[in-house]
Chains A and B, each alone.
Chain A
Amino acid sequence: MVATILSAGRLATDMLQLRRTIRIGITGLARAGKTALLTSLAANLLAVSAGRPALPAVSDQLRGRRLRVSIAPAAASNIPRFDVASHVAALAADPPRWPARTTAVSMLALDVDVPREGLLAPLGPQRRRLEFLDYPGEWLLDLPLLGQSFADWSEMTLRRLETLNSSEIARPFLGFVRGLPLGVQADEALTLTGHRLYAELLRRMRDEAGLAFLQPGRFLMPPPGAPPPWTEFFPLPGRSPLADLMQVRFNAYADAVRRDLMSPMFGDLDGLVVLADLLSALHQGPASFADARSALAAAADALRWDRSWTDWLAAFARLKLPPQAIRRVAFAATKADHIAARQRGNLIALMRRLTHVPDGSAKSAVFAIASVRCTEDVVETLAGRPVSAVRGRIIGEPRPARYYPGEVPDGVPDDLFWQHRFLALPDFEPMRLPEAGRGGIPQLGLDALIAFLLTEILG
């Protein structure tokens, strides 16, 4: 009964076009492939609009209708536009270039016209605006900071640093913090020293230990321009004038996160894509794998999964529709073209075991994708046995390589798995883009992911 009322409400909303903008959040840690996914998504939808068979699963869902997609005008938004053309040109170049590390927020907005079917056909195509936000992956872990106080965050961070396997890395910073006198005064020199030691610690945890759960994200990837003074703080327990100053700066930092990242995008999501580079985590070892898992869980928990009665009240007071709860979640393990076809089922099973959707009405699905496909599937014969592998060209190497990284576990890896090595993922170059990108970007599984996310508007 409730489902019928909800679907009737959605149909009415659809017919009246009360909600024209669909916001889809992309969460993923650094190097998970957010920029590549957005580039491929935009280029392939534009190719479908031009009649190219770039996304077969989307074409199946359209059942012969012609989708029309265009880059939406930026209007008066103060968020820079996601530069699809330059990213596609870089991938289409010879030799190709992967997108550089994202250093600032940018918005991809697409206008999509979907012809209706059946009795609604005379109403004409429905126009929707799809919005996606690209941002440095390091910043994603700033979202959990919004729900924490400075004291709680400091306590949690220091406890984690003390239990770190590679304690050598954390020793200089922990020595400094533990050595501060009780009731220490708010001194700028102490602030700068503590901040410098903490930022250096975060960098070493990322580069040397391969860890991902590193907060605050802007310490690792500062936004362009001169850093404001409130970005200089560090975790400090107890009560003291210096701790009070750190708390003021922490709160200013949280306000900036709310203003720059949470409000424009993550505050009102319809759909969510959670990207994870599980294969690289498998290579880096158990500590890195567990760390990446908890980082993704913390980021997902910070999002709005359901509407509360206070949301309804606040929206009613402002004469607006209540904020949207997340309706569809796609969990995607990236770089699926780096493993053999037979292993992709295991990768999906592993991703399914690692993820969960909070109770609510959100529908979820798990995918193994390659936004920009680099390899083809081959069978290699080793010691007289056929082995399913992949073949591609490593960047800078004219000779193709045949590659098999090892078995992908179909569940949370046990101790036995970590005793064997899992090969590092090579940097394969992207396949040649048909018609220099106008024919889309070769992908693997991305069409199914897009079809899932857009099910409600594709009908």
Chain B
Amino acid sequence: MNAAPEPFLLLEPEAAPRLEAVPALLPTAEPVRWLRSPTLAGAAILGIGIPVLWALWLVSALFDRWGTLGWAGLAILVCGIGLICVGIGRELRGLSALRRVDQLRVEFASGEAERVQRAARRWLQGLPQHSEILPALAAADTPEAVLALLRSGPSQALQDATEVLGRTAALQSVAIVAATPLPAMDVLTVGWCGVRLIRQVAALHGMRPGVMGTLSLLQKTALAAATVAATEIAVNAATHAMVSHPLLRHLAGDVAGAGVAARRMIVLARAAAVACSPILRG
């Protein structure tokens, strides 16, 4: 039978640095990377390559026919491609603005006073109308104080402005649904109203999303909508108060779904604001 080992305390011969914990890893899902899809890549190459080749062939043929005609064709081609590049540049800028929101969130959550302070200044650069809090921001020396300032200042103002946009869009959607002669057109008009609202909220937060940016923003808004679902209850009460106006009540009563559309606009505005703001609220 084995005896229990004797107690011991042995010093190692060599000095060693302070121990570090092995970081725990939380399981994360592998993100789907569409750009790595060969099908999409092939379609993109064909979609861009064939028209470019065709345009070059056309310009070359024009030069063969008559020099002046060739130069005119080339100028039109360069002008068109230039405008497309400008558009792509705007799209990229819009997308990077959306990505910056995520970066700012990470920096705000870092807990490092200097990093949080820098991130706050960077965010306020895109919101010059709120620069009056910069002196107070400079005096705030803890991350908690900086975040509290941002929450009670710009973030609160943006939230209030978002509410106004949401209520306005809600009224418009009630009017649109009431005035649309064909029920099938409700979807289109209310959908257009929703996209416009999302772009307005994004502009309020200092962003100018293009087509791709808007699509990305729609995706983020859909994700944010889950967290904003809680506001549905409050929104119900707000919508009820709003459509209790005699005229609106008449219209909404006549048109099934007008109240629902109005409520969705308010929720949509709040979800878009959550997607666009780097400051998370409880």
Interface range, A side: 35 or more
A403 proximity list for chain B (CB < 8 A): 8-10
Using known A-B contacts A50-B111, A113-B282, A434-B21, determine if residue A399 contacts B7 with beta carbons closer than 8 Å.
no
Using known A-B contacts A400-B16, A432-B19, determine if residue A407 contacts B144 with beta carbons closer than 8 Å.
no
- B238 shortest CB reach to chain A, Å: 16
Using known A-B contacts A399-B11, A402-B10, determine if residue A121 contacts B229 with beta carbons closer than 8 Å.
yes
A391 proximity list for chain B (CB < 8 A): 19
- A385 shortest CB reach to chain B, Å: 7
List residues of A (95-127) whose CB comes within 8 Å of B's CBs: 96, 113, 115, 121-125, 127
Task: Evaluate contact between A123 and B230: CB separation under 8 angstroms.
Answer: yes
B8 proximity list for chain A (CB < 8 A): 380, 382, 389, 402-404, 423
A422 in the interface (beta carbon within 8 A): yes
Bound CA–CA A341/B233 (angstroms):
51
For the residues of B in contact with A, the DSSP-based class is: loop
Q: Which residue of B lies closest to A439 (CB)?
A: B23
Q: Which residue of A lies closest to B112 (CB)?
A: A438
Task: Evaluate contact between B18 and A393: CB separation under 8 angstroms.
Answer: yes
- B11 shortest CB reach to chain A, Å: 5
- B20 shortest CB reach to chain A, Å: 5
List residues of A (73-95) whose CB comes within 8 Å of B's CBs: 94
Bound CA–CA A121/B228 (angstroms):
10
List residues of A (401-447) whose CB comes within 8 Å of B's CBs: 401-407, 421-423, 426, 429, 431-432, 434-435, 438, 442
The winner among B9, B112, B231, B282 for most chain A CB atoms within 10 A is B9
A380 proximity list for chain B (CB < 8 A): 8, 10
A432 proximity list for chain B (CB < 8 A): 18-21
Task: Evaluate contact between A373 and B21: CB separation under 8 angstroms.
Answer: yes
Task: Evaluate contact between A53 and B12: CB separation under 8 angstroms.
Answer: no
Task: Evaluate contact between A122 and B232: CB separation under 8 angstroms.
Answer: yes
B109 proximity list for chain A (CB < 8 A): 49-51
B168 in the interface (beta carbon within 8 A): no
B25 in the interface (beta carbon within 8 A): yes
Bound CA–CA A402/B25 (angstroms):
27
B9 proximity list for chain A (CB < 8 A): 401-404, 423, 426
Task: Evaluate contact between B7 and A53: CB separation under 8 angstroms.
Answer: no
A68 proximity list for chain B (CB < 8 A): 280, 282
Task: Evaluate contact between B11 and A56: CB separation under 8 angstroms.
Answer: no
Task: Evaluate contact between A53 and B25: CB separation under 8 angstroms.
Answer: yes
B23 proximity list for chain A (CB < 8 A): 53, 434
List residues of B (1-34) whose CB comes within 8 Å of A's CBs: 2, 4-16, 18-21, 23-26
Task: Evaluate contact between B12 and A399: CB separation under 8 angstroms.
Answer: yes
List residues of A (328-383) whose CB comes within 8 Å of B's CBs: 373-376, 380, 382
A215 in the interface (beta carbon within 8 A): no
A423 proximity list for chain B (CB < 8 A): 7-9
List residues of A (110-168) whose CB comes within 8 Å of B's CBs: 113, 115, 121-125, 127
A398 in the interface (beta carbon within 8 A): yes
B125 in the interface (beta carbon within 8 A): no
The winner among B5, B26, B232 for most chain A CB atoms within 10 A is B5
B180 in the interface (beta carbon within 8 A): no
Using known A-B contacts A51-B109, A401-B9, A405-B7, determine if residue A442 contacts B15 with beta carbons closer than 8 Å.
no
B219 in the interface (beta carbon within 8 A): no
A397 in the interface (beta carbon within 8 A): yes
A53 proximity list for chain B (CB < 8 A): 23-26
Contacting residue for A397 out of B11, B14, B227, B280, CB 8 A = B11
B18 proximity list for chain A (CB < 8 A): 94, 96, 393, 429, 431-432
The winner among B18, B112, B144 for most chain A CB atoms within 10 A is B18
A56 proximity list for chain B (CB < 8 A): 24, 26
- B84 shortest CB reach to chain A, Å: 39
B110 in the interface (beta carbon within 8 A): yes
Q: Which residue of B lies closest to A50 (CB)?
A: B109
A71 proximity list for chain B (CB < 8 A): 144
Task: Evaluate contact between A46 and B111: CB separation under 8 angstroms.
Answer: yes
The winner among B4, B24, B233 for most chain A CB atoms within 10 A is B24
- A279 shortest CB reach to chain B, Å: 12
Bound CA–CA A387/B16 (angstroms):
22
Task: Evaluate contact between A385 and B5: CB separation under 8 angstroms.
Answer: yes
The winner among A125, A373, A404, A423 for most chain B CB atoms within 10 A is A404
Bound CA–CA A375/B229 (angstroms):
46
List residues of B (231-250) whose CB comes within 8 Å of A's CBs: 231-233
Bound CA–CA A75/B75 (angstroms):
70
Contacting residue for B14 out of A49, A382, A399, A401, CB 8 A = A399
- B109 shortest CB reach to chain A, Å: 4
Task: Evaluate contact between B229 and A393: CB separation under 8 angstroms.
Answer: no
- B265 shortest CB reach to chain A, Å: 18
Task: Evaluate contact between A401 and B26: CB separation under 8 angstroms.
Answer: no
Using known A-B contacts A122-B233, A442-B21, determine if residue A406 contacts B16 with beta carbons closer than 8 Å.
no
Task: Evaluate contact between B110 and A393: CB separation under 8 angstroms.
Answer: no
Bound CA–CA A445/B19 (angstroms):
18
Task: Evaluate contact between A404 and B282: CB separation under 8 angstroms.
Answer: no
Q: Which residue of B lies closest to A429 (CB)?
A: B18
Task: Evaluate contact between A392 and B19: CB separation under 8 angstroms.
Answer: yes
A70 in the interface (beta carbon within 8 A): yes
Q: Which residue of B lies closest to A376 (CB)?
A: B19
Task: Evaluate contact between B111 and A374: CB separation under 8 angstroms.
Answer: no
The winner among B7, B23, B110 for most chain A CB atoms within 10 A is B7
Which residues of B are interface residues toward A (Cβ below 8 A)?
2, 4-16, 18-21, 23-26, 109-112, 144, 227, 229-233, 280, 282
Given A71-B144, A432-B20, 6 further pairs, Cβ under 8 A: A124-B231, A373-B21, A392-B19, A399-B15, A422-B7, A438-B111
Q: Which 7 A-B pairs have the closest CB atoms?
A: A124-B230, A442-B21, A398-B15, A406-B7, A423-B7, A438-B111, A53-B24
Interchain Cβ contacts under 8 Å between A and B, 10 examples:
A122-B229, A125-B282, A380-B10, A400-B12, A401-B12, A404-B7, A404-B8, A423-B9, A429-B18, A432-B20
